């Protein structure tokens, strides 16, 4: 890996033991303009075929939740402290018994081996190299066993199959593979209304068509470097991890993807999973305080406050808005959050409101698409440097020092 001079000056003033060895990652010259996570989105928009970009970037219906997520950070403004010696500050933090280099990690993302060559593997390796957590999505195209071998600290996120034998078989498979942390996502009990995907020509499986072929021709770097390379080296990708058994192929004119009917599941089913799963159990997709308490009372080790990046119920409250009340109601577990985070300042606002950790999805997917593992490591580095630089300007040495006194509601 090449080294380049720090763009952030003294941004990363951390004790050596806390930071990974190669904190500066160089990208190909064509990506020299990448200075922030949003820049990866712009690069991915031209790199990816329209339908694939639409799947990653899109939300639902009027994108109200997507906008609310982005806007939620502006509802708070910082109140920094002065003349604090911040020369020994660190972005490192402990989550569920493990020390990580930064207070953020990778949210689960479905089918990211379609947007990036070996996408889940790239994310897993970059996360291991930079010492941040990576959550492997169950809706993915690379076998979960391969991912945990590349990154023994990876977490696995399941959408629970509707019928009990399949649920038990999936949990047993995840356990046998060696995962230690299981995330159950609750907000996708049925498929949401992804009209924008349909309009853009995206479906799972993808249906071969003239317009899809045209997208391939007009995006040759993706077609050759991701799609054809995958087919030649690994065969046609299938949904590998929704169940204990293999699912549908990603490209097919007639196979139906199996959207398990899980609409009848209730808290008793989660209680059963808790009994079956000996490792750490994290429940994702919580927005209501009562649900947060149910999850903790039945034995969840952590919760992720999330509206699925605005991809499920449109008009759902932004997670940041409900975060303080959930933190207050569940003091005994780490409360994590995702949906809309793009900047170090976003991360620090959530931590000041009581979040223990932040998960981020799409930007890491874009980084993997346009630049593989170095791209993802660059994205992690950029964000970690933003967090460190902003800690300095806030007058904070440890993330645990952050609390609501560093914020005021905007407009107050």
* Residue numbering of the annotated binding site for glyoxylate: 55, 159, 194, 308, 311
Whichever of 311 and 389 has its CB closer to ligand GLV, that residue is 311
CA 229, CA 239: separation in Å to the nearest integer? 18
In DSSP terms, which residues pair with 93 in a beta bridge?
Answer: 100
Contact 336, 303 (CB under 8 A): yes
Q: How far is the CB of 311 from ligand GLV (least distance, A)?
A: 4
CA 258, CA 265: separation in Å to the nearest integer? 17
Question: Cβ-closest residue to ligand GLV?
Answer: 110
CA 375, CA 367: separation in Å to the nearest integer? 5
Whichever of 10 and 193 has its CB closer to ligand GLV, that residue is 193
CA 93, CA 74: separation in Å to the nearest integer? 25
Q: CA separation (Å) from 350 to 67, 240, 322, 404?
A: 17, 34, 11, 10
Q: How far is the CB of 240 from ligand GLV (least distance, A)?
A: 15
Contact 182, 281 (CB under 8 A): yes
Cα 371 from chain centre: 18
Whichever of 23 and 242 has its CB closer to ligand GLV, that residue is 242
Among 139, 140, 151, 381, binds ligand GLV (CB under 6 A): 139
Should residue 58 be labelled a site residue for ligand GLV when binding is judged by CB under 6 A?
no
CA 303, CA 288: separation in Å to the nearest integer? 11
Question: What is the per-residue binding string for ligand GLV in 240-269, x denoting contact by CB under 6 A?
Answer: ------------------------------
Give the other-Cβ count within 10 Å of 246's Cβ.
Answer: 12
Q: How far is the CB of 194 from ligand GLV (least distance, A)?
A: 8
Candidates 113, 112, 158, 155; CA nearest to 134 is 155
Helix (H) or strand (E) holding 291: helix 289-297
Helix (H) or strand (E) holding 283: strand 280-286
Among 89, 308, 349, 389, binds ligand GLV (CB under 6 A): 308
Whichever of 283 and 394 has its CB closer to ligand GLV, that residue is 283
Whichever of 161 and 374 has its CB closer to ligand GLV, that residue is 161
Contact 407, 75 (CB under 8 A): no
Among 89, 219, 311, 356, binds ligand GLV (CB under 6 A): 311
Q: How far is the CB of 110 from ligand GLV (least distance, A)?
A: 4
3-state secondary structure of 337: strand
CA 161, CA 168: separation in Å to the nearest integer? 9
Q: How far is the CB of 342 from ligand GLV (least distance, A)?
A: 17
Residues flagged as binding site: 55, 108-110, 137, 157, 159, 185, 194, 284, 306, 308, 311, 338-342, 361-362
Whichever of 311 and 378 has its CB closer to ligand GLV, that residue is 311
Q: Which residues are identified as catalytic? A: 308
Task: Tokens for 288, please give them.
Answer: 């209501």
Should residue 284 be labelled a site residue for ligand GLV when binding is judged by CB under 6 A?
no
Should residue 110 be labelled a site residue for ligand GLV when binding is judged by CB under 6 A?
yes
Instruction: Work out the end-to-end distance of the chain between its first and last CA atoms, rounded to an integer number of angstroms.
Output: 47
Q: How far is the CB of 140 from ligand GLV (least distance, A)?
A: 10
Contacting residues toward ligand GLV, per CB under 6 A = 110, 139, 308, 311
């Amino acid at each position: 890996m090449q080294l380049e001079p720090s763009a952030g000056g003294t941004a990363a003033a951390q004790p050596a033991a806390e930071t990974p060895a190669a904190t500066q990652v160089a990208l190909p010259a064509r990506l020299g303009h990448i200075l922030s996570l949003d820049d990866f989105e712009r690069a991915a928009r031209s790199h990816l075929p329209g339908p694939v970009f639409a799947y990653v970037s899109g939300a639902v219906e009027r994108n109200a939740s997507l906008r609310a997520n982005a806007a939620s950070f502006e509802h708070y403004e910082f109140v920094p402290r002065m003349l604090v010696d911040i020369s020994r500050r660190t972005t490192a933090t402990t989550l569920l018994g493990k020390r990580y280099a930064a207070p953020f990690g990778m949210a689960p993302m479905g089918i990211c081996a379609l947007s990036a060559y070996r996408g889940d593997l790239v994310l897993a390796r970059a996360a291991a190299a930079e010492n941040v957590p990576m959550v492997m999505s169950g809706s993915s195209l690379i076998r979960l066993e391969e991912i945990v071998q590349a990154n023994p600290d990876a977490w696995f996120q399941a959408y629970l199959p509707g019928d009990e034998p399949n649920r038990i078989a999936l949990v047993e498979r995840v356990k046998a593979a060696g995962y230690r942390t299981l995330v159950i996502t609750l907000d996708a009990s049925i498929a949401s209304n992804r009209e924008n995907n349909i309009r853009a020509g995206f479906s799972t499986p993808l249906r071969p068509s003239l317009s899809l072929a045209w997208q391939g021709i007009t995006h040759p770097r993706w077609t050759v470097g991701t799609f054809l390379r995958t087919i030649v080296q690994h065969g046609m990708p299938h949904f590998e991890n929704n169940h204990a058994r293999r699912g549908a192929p990603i490209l097919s004119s007639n196979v139906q993807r199996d959207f398990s009917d899980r609409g009848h599941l209730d808290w008793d089913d989660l209680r059963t999973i808790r009994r079956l799963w000996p490792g750490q159990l994290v429940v994702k997709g919580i927005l209501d305080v009562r649900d947060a308490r149910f999850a903790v009372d039945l034995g969840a080790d952590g919760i992720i406050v999330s509206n699925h990046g605005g991809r499920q119920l449109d008009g759902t409250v932004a997670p940041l808005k409900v975060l303080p009340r959930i933190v207050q109601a569940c003091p005994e577990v780490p409360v994590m959050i995702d949906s809309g985070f793009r900047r170090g300042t976003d991360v620090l606002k959530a931590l000041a409101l009581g979040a223990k950790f932040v998960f981020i999805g799409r930007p890491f997917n874009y980084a993997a698409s346009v630049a593989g593992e170095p791209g993802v490591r660059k994205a992690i580095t950029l964000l970690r440097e933003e967090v460190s630089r902003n800690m300095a300007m806030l007058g904070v040495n440890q993330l645990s020092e952050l609390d609501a006194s560093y914020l005021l509601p905007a407009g107050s």
